[in-house]
Structure 1
Amino acid sequence: MPLADHLTIRSARPGDETGMSMVLTEVLTDWNSTRPGDPAHVLAAYIGHPDRVDCAVCEGPDGAVGFQSLRLALPGNVYEVEPGWGIIGTYVRLDMGRQGIGQALFAHNLRAAQAAGLSWIEATIGADNLRAQAYYDAMGFQTYRPDDGAVRKRCAVSRLMENLI
Structure 2
Amino acid sequence: MVIARNAKPNDAFGMSAVLQEIMTYWESPRPSSPDHVLDFYINHPDQLSSVVADRESEIVGFQSLKIALKNNTYDVTPGWGVIGTYVRLNLRGTGIGRSLFEKTLLAAKRSGLEFIDATISTDNQNALAYYSAMGFVEYRRRSNTISKKRRV
TM over 0.5: yes
Q: Percent identity at matched positions?
A: 49
* Runs of 4+ residues deviating >6 angstroms: none
Query: How far apart, CA to CA, are the structure 2 residues paired with 1:155 and 1:23?
Result: 25
Q: Which residue of 1 aligns with 2:135?
A: 140
| Unpaired runs of at least 5, structure 1 | 1-5, 158-165
Q: RMSD in angstroms over aligned alpha carbons?
A: 0.7
Instruction: Quote the residue 1:54 is aligned against.
Output: 49
Q: For residues 25 and 138 of structure 2, what CA distance do their matches in structure 1 show?
A: 24
Q: Structure 1, residues 129-158: CA drift from partner, whole Å, max 9, x if none?
A: 01100000110101111222101000101x
- Displacement of 1:13 in angstroms is 1.2
Distance 1:46 1:62 in 2: 19
Q: Secondary structure at the match of 1:59?
A: strand
Counterpart mapping for 1:58-69 below 5 A: 58-69=53-64
Q: Which residue number in structure 1 is paired with residue 77 of structure 2?
A: 82
Give the count of matched residue pairs.
152
CA distance in 1, matches of 2:58, 2:25: 20
Q: Among 91, 96, 100, which residue is 2:91 paired with?
A: 96
1:27 pairs with 2:37: no
Unaligned runs of at least 5 residues, structure 2: none
Aligned residue in 1 for 2:108: 113
CA shift at 1:7, angstroms? 1.0
Give 1:62 deviation, angstroms.
4.7
User: What is residue 37 of structure 1 aligned with on the other side?
Assistant: 32
